[in-house]
Amino acid sequence: MSALFTPLTLRGVTLPNRVALAPMCQYSAGPDGLPTDWHRVHLGSRAVGGAGLIITEATAVVPEGRISPQDTGLWSDAHVDAWRPITAFIAAQGSVPAVQLAHAGFKASTYRPWAEHRGGVPDADGGWTPVSPGAEPFLPDYRTPTALDEAGVAEVVEAFATAARRALAAGFAAVEIHAAHGYLLHEFLSPLTNHRTDGYGGDRAGRMRLTLEVARAVRAAVGEAVPVLTRISATDWVDGGWTVEDSVVLAGELAAAGVDLVDTSSGGAAARASVPIGPGYQVPLAARIRREAGVPTGAVGLIVEPEQAEQIVAAGEADLVLLGRELLRDPYWPHRAAAKLTQTPAWPNQYTRAF
């Protein structure tokens, strides 16, 4: 029996296997943040390919929370209607549709990667003023943010909760809170980017406050049966930054707030971090958080071979394996992995003639 292809139950939802599509921005929404046919085909093909959990790209809870003007959102009923056919198709393939709810903070209003320009998008090109814990831009060519006051922080919490309720109406069966990669919640967590002196800054407890308030609000919004995941950057990879020791504490607090799995990534708060990139380089972070905090984790980062993914789950280093670039290269990786590990891939009937 393959560990990778055993079901995983999180609250009232059972994933058919331990393979998930990691959230990856497609920068292909319209200016109003509505998903398009690109998203239906992109996400749908990974469901046809056999991933047990399909997580959307970072989906903004408010317009100013988008990374680029081409990011998806979930801040209106029009977004609910646009997401419904996508989630219905994913579910029809036997996969579980999930949405990553996000706010880009001081990394908002930037050009998408293949644009002619780089850095912050000016108002004339559809950009806006970002918000952040403070008033310093992430990079010199990014937009200068406005520091959130406590009323603004409260609005962020409510925006996540409202988007979570809309996610259920749109057909999503699980939600993930994005608190990683130098975006707003991570900006509050990291001492590199949070220099506040009020109740949302200072010591670790103050810096964790916003993320935990969001987690509690999202849990209350979706009820007890819906899984809530949180993606964190387990370390900033910079001296004086957020550490894996901090993440162990945060993971325990997230679990107490109603989070069911910690999706363990890293980095993003510092432009020049020394990251030891290599196959499975973030797996030890997921393993340590799982072991020391006693919470389920997801592992992500240069996981490419079926045997590698199998070992991660079988050895108890993580409960879920999230694939990003590998699933961009091969939407059918889960079926190919099942053939190698179990000899019983479940190709859709429409494709069985190929075998």
Neighbours of 139 (CB within 10 A): 13
Comparing CA positions, the residue from 256, 248, 213, 220 lying closest to residue 232 is 248
Name the residue with tokens 């990079």.
139
Query: d(Cα 163, Cα 75) in Å, to the nearest integer?
Result: 6
Query: d(Cα 126, Cα 109) in Å, to the nearest integer?
Result: 8
From 27, 111, 142, 183, the catalytic residue: 183
Query: d(Cα 4, Cα 294) in Å, to the nearest integer?
Result: 20
Query: d(Cα 213, Cα 89) in Å, to the nearest integer?
Result: 33
| Residue 73 bridge partners (DSSP) | 60
Helices vs. strands in the chain: H and E counts, helices first: 10, 12
Distance of CA 165 to CAs 64, 103, 139, 175, Å? 19, 16, 34, 10
Distance of CA 35 to CAs 29, 49, 82, 88, 276, Å? 5, 21, 6, 14, 35
Contact by Cβ (8 Å): 88, 100: no
Active site residue 332: no
Query: d(Cα 119, Cα 137) in Å, to the nearest integer?
Result: 11
Alpha-helical runs (H) found in 190-305: 204-222, 244-256, 283-293
> Widest CA span of the chain, in angstroms?
64
**In b/e form, how buried is each residue of 143-160, taking b as 16+ CB within 10 angstroms?**
bebeebeeeebeebbbbb
DSSP string covering 6-51: S-EEETTEEESSSEEEPP-----S-TT----HHHHHHHHHHHHTT-
Name the residue with tokens 């200016």.
31
What are the residue numbers of the active site?
Answer: 183
